Amino acid sequence: MKPRLSAVVTTLDNAATLEACLSSLGFCDEIVLLDSGSADATLEIARRHGARIETQAFAGYGPQKQAAIELATGDWILLLDADEHLTDAGRIAIERELAAPRADGYRLPRQEWLFWRWPHAGTRANWQLRLFRKTAGRMNMVPVHAAPEVDGRLLDLDAPFRHYGEPRLADRVDKVNRYSSGLVEHKRGKRVRFIALRLLFYPGVAFLKLYFGKRYFLNGWAGFFAAKTQSFYAFLKYAKVLEAQRQSRE
């Protein structure tokens, strides 16, 4: 008997990207959409695609995703953000794999929108755990980068999905500023080892890992911008932690 697959999406004013997201999930047995107060056309789009709509005040990234997962009735969960969509190749790979699953969870390759273009075919994707048995997986409670965790066997599945990143450099800088502040709050009162060394060296390492390690240099200026903003994010994380430590001493 074929297992039931539930697509799970959380939303808040995502009308600009939700159409592509839900259109790619039409093969799933159900689409569960947990909204936290959208005022744009998000819910209208969701109804048009036959999504099961529930509402809940935003409880934090991890708890909100977990609440949506718990609403699903399928045996398997396919977890996407509202600014992501599954490719046709991804759908085919998932359908083929779930006909005879070999694992309890699967990491899928995410292709990132780089300001004004999709990445070059030679750019390495970011592999993320997004497909898992409902009984084996749940969200962790990391405040900024919460992600699913699975008890059981994990495999990489070549089922690509795409992420619409920030369309402007200013938007990306605003995001890394917010995220780095969130991480500082999470680390407040905790000792961060080798903070000075991390601050001095890790931003450069972050740039090299993305620009050369993941071949972002193949994407021209868009790839350079993405690698530099990731380096800036690494700098902000540790600079804000050091700043908070100094202020607490004073």
Identify any residues that bridge with 127 across adjacent strands, giving them in sequence order. 109
Q: Which two tokens stand for residue 59?
A: 């409880």
**Those residues with Cβ within 8 angstroms of residue 151's Cβ, 6 or more apart along the chain or in another chain:** 104, 136, 137
C-beta separation of 93 from 156 below 8 A:
no
Question: Over the chain, what is the mean pLDDT?
Answer: 93
Identify any residues that bridge with 77 across adjacent strands, giving them in sequence order. 6, 132
pLDDT in tens, 209-249: 999 999 999 999 999 999 999 999 999 989 998 888 887 77
Q: What is the pLDDT of residue 185?
A: 67
pLDDT in tens, 168-179: 999 999 999 988
As assigned by CATH, the class of the 5-163 domain is alpha beta
Q: What is the pLDDT of residue 190?
A: 65
Q: In the chain, where does the domain assigned CATH 3.90.550.10 lie? A: 5-163
The share of the chain scoring above pLDDT 70, in percent, equals 96
